[in-house]
Structure 1
Amino acid sequence: MTGDVGDLHVGTVVVNVNDMDRAVAFWRSALGYRLRESEVDPEFTMLVSSDPARPPISLQLTDQPVLQPVRLHLDLYTSEQERQVERLVALGASRVEDWQYPEDPDFVVLRDPDGNEFCVIAHQPVPVRTPAPEEEDGDEE
């Protein structure tokens, strides 16, 4: 039983970082996001996209190291996987070579400059599905 979720939804993704300025520079360049506020807060900074369909990324300062294996990570989708992986590595990401890849994977595992893992997945764009009016009202036939 799922119950009534009401307006409950994912509002932002929070990434713990050890160096706020470095993390802000990496994730802004990686995703093309901008600062939500006028300047970087040394403890907690939110990055937002100009596209409201893309969730914000919040960076939260911590003095703790990244734990392995990671329990949660970002999946970044692109139709230009090889180019994007090379671009992200040039920005400061590193490839995770010792990951147990399946045969012929559609993803590449990277770590951001703070050691947080994320995947770059080869994915063709999917058109956004707009619900039919009867679906918006919750009526099902």
Structure 2
Amino acid sequence: MGVRFTDLCVDAADTQSLGSWWAEVLGYTGEVTDDGDVVLRPPAGGGPNLLFLAVPETKVVKNRLHIDLTPDDQEAEVDRLIGLGARRVDIGQGDQSWVVLADPEGNEFCVLAAQD
């Protein structure tokens, strides 16, 4: 029996708005599913889909699972993401090589230092 990692699901108050934001961040293509969820598909070979699911409650605690982004230029990418509506957050990470940001609904994600 085989298994594939196909979707990373993200709870959202506004699936279309948050899905559009992440599509802009990642350059993924998005579509609304028949049941109103939003699925973002990466370029071929680019990893799993992101599936945004509508939930009635708001986020209240730190994520147990998060996305790491590895850009060519960390500082420029952090500036770009903040310009798109992300914000810096302190989850107790201290002084690290990565930067912790939150998307417009408060979901934390990390921008790692460029890899050689």
The aligned runs of 1:91-106 (5 Å cut-off) are 91-96=84-89, 98-103=90-95, 105-106=96-97
SS at match of 1:53: coil
Which segments of 5 or more consecutive residues in structure 2 lack a partner in the other structure? none
Residues 62, 91 of structure 2: 8 Å contact kept: no
Question: Number of matched residues?
Answer: 115
Aligned to 1:124: 115
Matches within 5 A, 1:1-141: 6-35=1-30, 37=31, 40-41=32-33, 43-96=36-89, 98-103=90-95, 105-124=96-115
Q: CA RMSD in A?
A: 1.8
Contact kept? 2:62, 2:108, Cα under 8 Å: no
TM-score by length of structure 2 reads 0.87
For the pair shown, the structure with the greater C-alpha radius of gyration is: 1
Q: Which residue of 2 aligns with 1:137?
A: none
| C-alpha separation in 1, matches of 2:6 and 2:107 | 20
| 1:78 partner letter | P
1:68-108 superposed Cα distances (whole Å, 9 cap, x missing partner): 12211111112211111111111111110x332233x1211
Unaligned runs of 5+ in 1: 1-5, 126-141
Task: After superposition, give the CA deviation of every residue in 1:6-41 in whole Å (9 maximum; x if it has no partner).
Answer: 422321111111112211220110000002x4xx34
* TM-score for the superposition, normalised by structure 1: 0.73
